[in-house]
Chain A
């Protein structure tokens, strides 16, 4: 693409009107030619002035409060494109009535995973949740910290639990209490993983995944305490990662477990 062809597209880009093909070609050329960026800037400024022709409309006051609460929580700020939360994930978090087509995300190619993961986690929670219930945990307890935490949770007045079934027949139960601020995952029938892999725990909060520790299992059972406090509305998720945890600090594979705790 030469500069003239690029300038032909910047207007359509500024008005967000390019076809997907044109937009891809445009973005490629834009990366290759930072010296053409001023065309993009100028057209974006011009297009934004069109917004002056609309009347101001005050949004509902509740929205301001909701936003400020969200940012004062743990919504992380991103320094790069990869951490931007997809719109679908935000919508899923807000439990709007519109069904999302996310189950398809499970079969999308690996390269799409970064974009689809959060939405997928949210939808999995809805798909595989099988209701409330206590689970016998006795002999599966294998670490003192998780035993103590599980006792604390179960004696709390707001103790909750939810069990989901794994695709190959296993069961995973999350136990949590917001007043205690802890969550424990009790698993049975986990898939066998390689020696150089481990299970990694995550809190999915406001569409972002927060690492919450690693665990392994010799016989498919495990009881694991999630690192860090649980917050209202968190999704608890498990992925299979390289031993030592995801090198990027973000999930590199689709979750095998996603439990909504709201």
Chain B
């Protein structure tokens, strides 16, 4: 039996050779209707996708629903994955993130979200908001990269990505003009890209 050891869908060899996009290869097979490839892709990425969805949504049963929606969307639209436009892993996690945020913005989820973040009822200073989100950052490489960002940029990115807040919501939350939030997000993401060595 062939045992393939894969970490999160991307092998990054020590010698610095091109990384192998296992998730991307599986997606190409999924696009051809390969159910076994779909099962492997699910096994490879569903724990990470579920962790992300759960982080954004908090509610477990809704997170399970969204995870199912995400993988059905992957099955149905794998043909739209373009290997020359990014990693398969990113493609999957992007779908998971968008679906999770869409759900958190829906009326059903707003109550949980208000309870969790406490923005609507409590007059939380925005420093506290960023702190609350930051406390739960665990990945070392990412947290190191985030730590290099000026506070306002980190706050804008974490509130958007993990909190599911839109730019205009963030502007209202932290009391800054929308244009300022856009710029912070732009500059912050660019800096993260450099820190984490993303090339394109």
Contacts and interface: CB of A to CB of B under 8 A. Distances in A.
Contacts of A67: 42, 68, 71-72, 75
Contacts of A38: 200
Chain A interface mostly: helix
B31 A54 contact: no
A22 B139 contact: no
Given A7-B186, A42-B193, A98-B108, A53 B35 contact: no
Contact of B142 (A22, A52, A71, A78): A52
B186 A15 contact: no
Interface in B75-118: 75-80, 85-87, 89-90, 93-94, 96-99, 101-103, 108
A15 B33 CA distance: 30
A68 interface: yes
Interface residues of B, number: 74
Contacts of A71: 35, 38, 72, 75
B72 A72 contact: no
B2 interface: no
Interface in A10-54: 10-12, 14-19, 22, 37-38, 41-54
A248 interface: no
Given A45-B90, A47-B94, A96-B65, A14 B51 contact: no
B141 interface: yes
B193 A63 contact: no
A98 B65 CA distance: 12
Interface string B50-86: 1110110000000011011101110111111000011
B137 interface: yes
A80 B76 CA distance: 9
Contact of A59 (B64, B75, B161, B196): B64
Contacts of A77: 31, 33, 75-79
Contacts of B68: 63, 66-67, 90, 94
A9 to B, nearest CB: 8
Contacts of A70: 72, 75
Interface stretch (A81-89, A144-152, A175-183, A209-217): A81-89
Q: Which of A10, A11, A71, A98 neighbours the largest number of chain B CB atoms within 10 Å of its CB? A: A11
Contacts, number: 193
Contacts of B28: none
A63 B19 CA distance: 30
Given A8-B183, A15-B189, A53-B142, 4 more contacts: A12-B185, A16-B164, A54-B139, A84-B76
Interface of B: 31, 33, 35, 38-39, 42-43, 46-52, 54-55, 64-65, 67-69, 71-73, 75-80, 85-87, 89-90, 93-94, 96-99, 101-103, 108, 137-139, 141-143, 146, 157, 160-162, 164-168, 170, 182-183, 185-186, 188-190, 192-193, 196, 198, 200
27 contacts: A8-B183, A11-B188, A11-B189, A11-B190, A12-B185, A16-B97, A16-B102, A16-B160, A17-B170, A41-B200, A45-B193, A47-B189, A48-B87, A48-B93, A49-B192, A51-B93, A56-B48, A56-B51, A59-B50, A63-B67, A64-B46, A70-B72, A71-B35, A71-B72, A75-B75, A77-B76, A84-B76
Interface of A: 7-12, 14-19, 22, 37-38, 41-60, 63-64, 66-68, 70-72, 75-81, 83-85, 87, 90-91, 94, 96, 98, 206
